[in-house]
Amino acid sequence: MDIGPNIDNPSQKSPQDIYHDSRLERYSTILNMVLQGLPLGEMLNALVLLIEAQKIGTRASVLLLSDDGKRLIAGAAPNLPDAYNKVINGVEIGPEVGSCGAAAFLCQRVIVEDIDSHPNWQAYKEIPIKSGLKACWSEPIKDSDGKVLGTFAMYYDTIKSPTEQDLILIQEAARLASLAIERSRGMHVQRLSSKIFNSLPIALVITSEDNSVILANPIFRALTSTYYANLKLFDVQRFLSHSPKEVVDDLFEHLSRGHAWQGELRGLRTDNDIIDISLTVAVIRDSFTQQNCFAWLINDISSRKTAENTIHFQTNYDQLTGLANRKYLFHSLQSLVDAKDIHHEVEQAFNLILLDIDHFKQINDTLGHDKGDLVLKLVAKRLSSTIPENVLLSRIAADEFALVVPGQMTTESLVDMVNDVIAVLDNPFSVGGQHLKLTLSAGIARYPDDADKVEQMLNCATQAMYNAKSRGRNGFQFFNQQIQKNAERNAELYLHVKSAISRNEFALYYQPIVNPNSGKIVKAEVLLRWQYKGQFISPDEFIPIAEESGFIVQIGEWVRTEALNMLTRLQNKQLAVPLSINVSTIEFWTDDLQQRFLAYFDNKQTEFESNQLPYHLLTLEITESLMMKQQDSISQLLIELRRRGVQISVDDFGTGYSSLSYLANFPVDQVKIDKSFIQKISMGARHEALIEAIVSMSRALDLSIVAEGVETQYELDFIKQQDIEAVQGYFFYKPMAADVFVDLLAKQAKLN
């Protein structure tokens, strides 16, 4: 059949011309809709109708592939039965799932001429057949990359095979559907991107190579509007002018090589408004201009930085003085320990100086902690003004400061520096209307000579500082091995003194006190001895350790118990003499301890049952420092003990802060003249006068007197001249074990 043009009737068009015209109409219609940005559903619906109009008897549909690529979703099928559309909406794709499911899965055309007999439809044929559908041809809709977007299908109510023109038509329909879908999705992404761009909670600006602003979101405009009124240009150099130059140079060096950059800088909003920013810059190649564009993502992190700085300060700095704290000191010391010379791998030397304010507790106790805090701030200020810039000053405890001096220093230079530091307190402080003269004790440790670890360095400096205090305070001490040995010795004794009672390592010795004229034993002082590892430990060494640990309370109770047992033993032998027992100040330190002290005697009284506790045979020896506390509770405790018959003696009188008012106001019965006075009698009249004054004062207050430390005939003769009624010392007896003491008393009894 001739389908060419009819020459006799030019208005009559051939079928081929008609097809081309309809094809042009379809493309024109869909393109216009695409350019207008109409909704995808409307465009697909129009395409289906155009195809159906081209091919009489055709009912067409468009199904879209779901985002997960597993199901087909209804796109457009205006002339297919609603019941059928509902069933196939959401159907999973597969190689044998009807026509459309198979086409989407296989990414190729699937022609089913007879739905009733085709294997792909066996599980689904009842649905289309019931809807009057007998043939289905499906073409996959693909994007420009060949990825399946969905399917275009043509249905017929008769068993039907496609002609060549049918195949061309369905392929064309799939291409038009692809155009509509891609354009619609592209516009959707564009609109979504624009919405996201404008809704970003951080500033975003896109610039060209000459800093021209191509696009800027509202946050960027708000961030820069007060300073960069003209948003045609973004002056990056000016904006970052308060950032470190080396960091800004690194940023532009990266951008010049086409590399992205990310970091934290400072941005200039106005002349008086500098903000901390997090900056990310991406480099984008513009295919149109063949130049680089830059996307600047700017986040104001000023609040976060402020919070971080606050946390950093609270973590690393002392709240009171503003100096570095103990944690920061440890971190700095560890950094110095870890640092090594990159060429020689040798340790870098530094010095650690520990400073402690002498007698600072007295300031808190007398003036109050608020005034004590003010003193600490004033001391910190003076120290800060004295030390070199490269020296780290920190406050690491209540009244302890530390200096970290980097580098190797000669001993002379280090001594000069420490002396200068100690001298800053020479001028008194005016606090609370009072002038305070303070002193410092310092300990010096050198790395790596003294230690090679941070904890050890601090320990060495601490030991040296305490050694300086023990030498009289207001000075310094370098760490040395003897200090280390002493510290190790103290640590060992500290660890074992608490088990000395349970291990039966303690024993009581007795030093007789005699009448200087007759030599008769009238009393004895109870002395504690500790035998540790087969050796006797000096009380001067272990008593301070026991006091520091608080174990002195249990030791004191053990001593009194053993002394009472000795009195019972002596009474049973008719040999009883009074015993003097030393009492540590620590045992009276708090109200609870004072009550415990008194309760001890009450409990012991019940143990004696019918026998009366021999209070009259007990003398408690206290120190002058206890009198200085002037606490009413202590006075009441001693009054109660004296009421029961216990005598109170002031031990080592004259070595502390002796005062007539203390003796007059405190409930005491006896004064023991310290041996340091007795041993200086032979040095001249002035020393004799001191003893005479003590004796005269004691008698005026009706106090008995004991002279201790008498070792020579000259000393004894002087004591006799003063008519002192009791003496104690090596001239007569050294301290002795309990059995020896009992035997001595027994011999004296026989002689009498």
Q: To the nearest whole number, what is the mean pLDDT of the chain?
A: 86
Q: What is the pLDDT of residues 412-467, one digit of tens each?
A: 999 999 999 999 998 999 888 888 889 999 999 999 989 989 999 999 999 999 88
The pLDDT-based confidence of 115 (bands split at 50, 70, 90) is: very high
Q: Between 658 and 179, whose confidence is greater? A: 179
Give the H/E segment covering residue 508.
strand 506-514
Distant-in-sequence, close-in-space partners of 591: CB < 8 Å, separation ≥ 6: 633
Give, as one character, the DSSP assignment of residue 347.
Answer: B
Q: Once rounded to an integer, what is the mean pLDDT over residues 534-548?
A: 89
Q: Once rounded to an integer, what is the mean pLDDT over residues 101-115?
A: 95
Q: Once rounded to an integer, what is the mean pLDDT over residues 355-370?
A: 87
What confidence score (pLDDT) does residue 7 get?
39
**In degrees to the nearest 10, what's the CA dihedral of 468, 472, 476, 479?**
-20
The 10 Å Cβ neighbour count of residue 46 is 20
C-alpha separations of 468 from 263, 361, 400, 590 in Å: 50, 18, 14, 29
What confidence score (pLDDT) does residue 149 get?
93
Q: What is the pLDDT of residues 688-711, one digit of tens each?
A: 998 998 899 889 889 999 999 999
Q: Interhelix angle for 164-199 vs 15-36, to 10°?
A: 10
How are beta strands 71-76 and 506-514 bridged, if at all? unpaired
Distant-in-sequence, close-in-space partners of 260: CB < 8 Å, separation ≥ 6: 254, 280, 281, 282, 283
Cα–Cα distance, 50 to 81 (Å, whole number): 18
Identify which of 272, 268, 207 has the alpha carbon closest to the alpha carbon of residue 243: 268
Q: Are 749 and 727 in contact (CB under 8 A)?
A: no
What confidence score (pLDDT) does residue 91 get?
92
Distant-in-sequence, close-in-space partners of 319: CB < 8 Å, separation ≥ 6: none
Instruction: Give the percent of the chain with pLDDT over 70.
Output: 90
What is the secondary structure of 194-231 as a DSSP string? HHHHHH-SSEEEEE-TT-BEEEE-HHHHHHHTTT---T
What's the sign of the alpha-carbon dihedral 585, 586, 588, 590?
A: positive
> What token pair was written down for 193?
């991107």
Phi-psi region of 538 (alpha: psi -120 to 50; beta: other; left: phi over 0): beta
The pLDDT-based confidence of 490 (bands split at 50, 70, 90) is: confident
Instruction: Give the percent of the chain with pLDDT over 90.
Output: 50
Identify which of 215, 199, 64 has the alpha carbon closest to the alpha carbon of residue 141: 64
Cα–Cα distance, 2 to 185 (Å, whole number): 45
Give, as one character, the DSSP assignment of residue 599.
Answer: H
The 10 Å Cβ neighbour count of residue 210 is 7
Helix runs in 354-453, H state only: 360-367, 369-386, 411-423
Domains of the chain: residue spans and CATH: 15-194 (3.30.450.40), 200-306 (3.30.450.20), 317-439 (3.30.70.270), 495-751 (3.20.20.450)
Cα of 299 vs its chain's centroid, Å: 28
Residues belonging to the chain: 752
Q: Once rounded to an integer, what is the mean pLDDT over residues 734-743?
A: 96
pTM above 0.85, yes or no: no
Q: Decide: helix, strand or coil at residue 519.
A: coil
The pLDDT-based confidence of 2 (bands split at 50, 70, 90) is: very low
Q: What is the pLDDT of residues 587-635, one digit of tens each?
A: 887 788 888 888 888 888 777 655 678 889 999 998 876 765 556 778 8
The 10 Å Cβ neighbour count of residue 459 is 18
What confidence score (pLDDT) does residue 660 get?
58
C-alpha separations of 28 from 31, 181, 511, 580 in Å: 5, 16, 127, 123
